[in-house]
Amino acid sequence: MNLNDFLEYYFKQDNIEAQRVFMTFQSYIVALAVFPFTLWRFYQGDYAHGVADILIILVLVFFGQIAKSCSKISYFAWLFSSLYIVIVLYILNITGKDILFWAFPAAISMHFLLRSNEALIMNFILLAGVFLSPLSISNYAFITFVFTYLITIILTAQFSSRLKSDNRSLQNLTELDDLTQVGNRRALDKKIAEIIHSYSPQKPQCLMILDIDHFKSLNDQFGHQRGDLALKRLATMIQNVCRLNIPIYRYGGEEFVILIQASLENAGDIAEDLRKTVASSRLIREQFLTISIGIAELSPADQASEWIKKADQALYEAKNNGRNQVISYHTPALAD
């Protein structure tokens, strides 16, 4: 797991593989932190608590192994946080006030496992558990602990929220096309990889590639500024015709890619609506413009390059057949 994967997990939390690796790493680190105390307990002859520490280590290692392949990673994060609370309260109950500081790393770790509001809930549960624990501690010392704990979790939540907000801004800069403000090639590659990874025959996925017909002539005749204006207006028109949750990307030059969860037939209907809308509108005042669209449905064996290539072949056919039309890629029938 490199730094970029870690930051993407912590700030965006939609990279499932990064979450798994991070939870595995954290479980091993905590197990390693508990291990020296286990040795000390056996050295002191406190075998009962030493065995309990060994069980904690084994549970942590087990959780780390489960995290590697867990599909419900958000639920597992709650379970993992609950384990932290149990461990801290167990340590407090067998050792007393001198180990209160174990609550602080647990409080901070919640913000690496859960979202900020979820982490605050779990932290208040931990604080309530500490309050109910039989500690030999003065009221002054306990109030001091409570206030410092609250300050820690509030500041951690603010820090986490600010970093996530900044990261979202950076994410937009790295994954948005400057001209059209739709997704760029990097964002497209990531989204296609996610779709292929979660492919299901019950949820067909289609990829459309479209571009403006005779775009080079437009630039040559009216200048690149008018060409840029046409691209920006086309991007807006695509967003208006398609549903808001349909990902749109600028693939390069005058080409756009639309990813849509639909059958080839339904995707074709949407593409045809878009083609008609563009043909009957003025992207620039000087002339009417048209678009050609190629569509391909994702097959189980497709890799990203193969999926794009099929849609590109359909677009090429639309161009060769006279432009201003929609062509869907159909898998060639197998010979008898």
| Whole-Å CA distances, 315 to 65, 196, 226, 250, 328 | 46, 21, 24, 15, 8
| Residue 272 known to be catalytic | no
C-alpha span between 166 and 88 (Å, rounded): 32
Helix (H) or strand (E) holding 281: none
In degrees, rounded to 5, the angle at the alpha carbon of residue 280 between the alpha carbons of residues 274 and 283 is: 85
- CB within 8 Å of 329: residues ≥ 6 apart: 294, 295, 296, 297, 310, 311, 313, 314
Q: Contact 122/81 with Cβ under 8 angstroms?
A: yes
Q: Looking up tokens 């563009």, which residue turns up? A: 278
SS3 content of the chain, % helix, strand, coil (to 5): 65, 10, 25
- CB within 8 Å of 67: residues ≥ 6 apart: 20, 23, 24, 27, 73, 76, 80
3-state secondary structure of 250: strand
| Whole-Å CA distances, 330 to 269, 307, 310 | 16, 12, 9
3-state secondary structure of 262: coil
Among candidate residues 17, 175, 254, 265, the one labeled active-site is: 254
C-alpha span between 14 and 21 (Å, rounded): 13
Q: Contact 49/41 with Cβ under 8 angstroms?
A: yes
**φ, ψ (nearest 5 deg) of residue 208:** -110, 135
Per-residue b/e over 258-274, b at no fewer than 16 CB within 10 Å? Answer: bbbbbeeeebbebbeeb
Active site residues: 254
